[in-house]
Amino acid sequence: MLQLLQNLASGETLVADVPAPQVARGTLLIATRASLVSAGTERMLVDFGRASWIDKARQQPEKVKQVLDKVRTDGLFATLDAVRSKLDQPLALGYCNAGVVLEVGAGVEGFSVGDRVVSNGSHAEIVRVGKNLCARVPEGVSDEAAAFTVLGAIGLQGIRLAAPTLGECFVVTGLGLIGLMTVQLLRAQGCRVLGIDLDAGKLALAQRFGADVCDLARGEDPVARGLAFSGGRGVDGVIVTASTQSSEPIAQAARMSRKRGRIVLVGVTGLELNRADFYEKELTFQVSCSYGPGRYDPAYEQQGSDYPLGFVRWTEQRNFEAVLAMLAEGKLDVAPLISHRFAVREAARAYDVLVNDRSALGIVLQYAGAKPNEQARRVALGATPPVAASGKAVLAVIGAGNYGSRVLIPALKRAGAQLDTIVSSAGVTGYHHGRKSGFAFASTDVQADVLGNERVDAVVIATRHDTHARFASEALAAGKHVFVEKPLALTLEEVDAVESAWRAAAERGAPRLLMVGFNRRFAPLVAKMKALLAPVGAPMAIVYTVNAGAIPPDHWTQDREVGGGRIIGEACHFIDLARYLVGHPIVDAQITTIGRHPALAVRDDKATISLSFADGSIGTVHYLANGGKRFPKERVEVFCNDGVLALDNFIKLTGYDWRGFSRQRLWRQDKGQEACAAAFVRAVAQGGAAPIPAEEILEVSRVAIRLATRNSRSG
């Protein structure tokens, strides 16, 4: 299918042929008929992409600080690699979509195949959208008109915050698409409206919709005009829909407002405000958040949990429905706002118009409308398909997220793996990273293009944590070797299922590798530690300090059902490294977390884990998310043999009173990712022992899950 993408590093906009997404629980699959280019937001994104690195940094000073902090902890080269990778990610443009439902996911009610709907789907022939971000289109509303719904909801939410009443005087500053729809919605509520802009064409449209106007290009004073418009009393409210770095629109809004007037910022402006302007009049100032309640709430948008109507009357979805009702009743007229139309194949031309013609308003992209049997879920990327049984490992990769694309896939490629198919949920990231890394195909269909692919020897799983065990079990049952980016599973039952699939393969006479990406075992300085510890027969004590850094409580990794929490999802790395250095099974494990406190919403990311081993060794993992960013991320200390080995951030190893060893330092940090991937590829291609014994993987996985479960119950 065709989809419009932008490269944030170069600003290039292209129409790409990417795999069509599959419907998922709580979502709709929609064949697009029309989509609208949001002139303000999308022009800003294109301008950002085309800006130089210096200009990008100037626009995001908070990101610059994050980069500097990362340089201090991870080093310059690792930071540059991370920044380049972030900017290289393709951005799916667009969020104003109208189309027809192709498939309805499990758990979705109120929609049927064939329904015409609007959504915040991107500029693509087929989109997958959560049910709460969709609304049915009434009869009589065209596809083109319906595509304006999402922008209309943005303006409507600003109006709801301003709470206008019949007969009040309101000002709309900035007469782009949202501004002109806001004018009409205010007029429909019985308000008198003054529109402010520089563009004569937009001012003429505002007048057509019943507004008075103030032409900044002719030198008219907006404050004086606003005061005159309100009969000298000051306007009741101002809705700012402009996009500018200047703080003047807000300052002017304050000066033209009456005492206790309301100002709502819907657009993007500077916010260097004069306190006196607001203090003396007791003005109310509020920033509006997109389409309304539910925006950026994963429970609402992704999991489909609605807010009770009696408590939240106007959600995102209900705002969509309100705008559609206004369109159906003829109270909102968007036909005059359409300035250009392009077929989706010519969308790159549309963005040239967007950037070069500042008077452009509604740019509509037109689509033929895909049918169910036209959903191509696999696309060829140009590389020659690998040959099965060629003496090299032929891999398929499920997942194309940040770690998989930036670290794991390049390491597999450098290890000599032949890359067959990459699968991603929505198709875009798989297409981008598959083409970049030399895969033959990109797909969204795991069953057909990975598990049923006879060319593929091994499957690499780099998806969200809640899918790891299922994919691993299915791949083993399909006769594939398996590499799972940690963790292996989220529950003990899932671990049991993976173990059963692994043992069943062996019982069939076709044993398969089961490996988890515990890469720290393969770090060169860890290999040196292991060699130094090998002659020592006495038990050891390990102190592992991890300055993990904070992750927001609503991040998916903190979700017990999806990410498993940080003990299962990340601390398993450190439990495994302690297990590897000791070389004996873990016989007991305990966890203690920082106690309840109002400032600490998440408990299991500030914990001490105590491990006891069969040989009498002990280990302590201090996993802490409340430390400073400038402190090293990881430090491993091993006490034994009347000496100490101390590993700092996988770049420096120091021996204290260690006979025959004092120190070793690398030029750059090496956590063993390259060696870990190479060991797996070599084992698949050549056979032999597993790089990590599966029994140890299962043991560590169960320990991490039991610790997390015990901590959850104690909390």
User: What is the spatial distance between Cα 301 and Cα 119, in angstroms, rounded to a whole number?
Assistant: 12
List of residues 6+ apart from 329 with CB closer than 8 A: none
Amino acid at 513: L
User: Does the domain at residues 151-287 carry the CATH identifier 3.40.50.720?
Assistant: yes
Half-sphere exposure of 554 (CA within 13 A, CB side): 7
User: What is the spatial distance between Cα 294 and Cα 70, in angstroms, rounded to a whole number?
Assistant: 33
Fold agreement between 2-147+334-372 and 520-714 = no
Return the domain boundaries, the chain: 2-147+334-372, 151-287, 378-517, 520-714
Q: At what angle do helices 694-714 and 492-507 cross, to 10 degrees?
A: 170
Bridge partners for 119 per DSSP: 97, 134
* Strand pairing report for 481-484 and 514-516: parallel
List C-alpha distances in Å: 337 to 95, 290, 304, 434, 690: 17, 20, 33, 39, 64
Model pTM?
Answer: 0.86
Asked if 137 and 146 touch (Cβ cutoff 8 Å), the reply is yes
Structure tokens at 638: 């091993």
User: What is the spatial distance between Cα 229 and Cα 259, in angstroms, rounded to a whole number?
Assistant: 16
Among candidate residues 250, 244, 248, 289, the one with its CA nearest the CA of residue 47: 244
User: What is the spatial distance between Cα 421 and Cα 403, in angstroms, rounded to a whole number?
Assistant: 17
Structure tokens at 407: 């670290």
Q: Please give the class, per CATH, of domain 520-714.
A: alpha beta
Superfamily of segment(s) 378-517: NAD(P)-binding Rossmann-like Domain (3.40.50.720)
Domain 2-147+334-372, CATH number (from 3.40.50.2300, 3.90.180.10, 3.30.420.40, 3.60.15.30)? 3.90.180.10
Asked if 115 and 100 touch (Cβ cutoff 8 Å), the reply is yes
Half-sphere exposure of 242 (CA within 13 A, CB side): 24
| Helices and strands, counts by H and E, the chain | 25, 31
User: Average pLDDT by consecutive 10-residue portion of the chain (715 residues)?
Assistant: 83 88 95 90 64 54 56 55 60 93 95 97 96 97 98 97 97 96 97 96 97 96 97 97 93 96 95 91 94 92 93 96 97 96 92 84 88 76 81 92 92 95 93 94 96 96 97 97 97 98 94 96 98 94 95 85 93 97 97 73 81 98 91 95 95 95 95 97 92 97 94 56
CB atoms within 10 A of CB 468: 27
Whole-number pLDDT of residue 82: 55
User: What is the spatial distance between Cα 557 and Cα 554, in angstroms, rounded to a whole number?
Assistant: 8
Asked if 496 and 666 touch (Cβ cutoff 8 Å), the reply is no
- What H or E segment, with its residue span, contains residue 226? helix 222-229
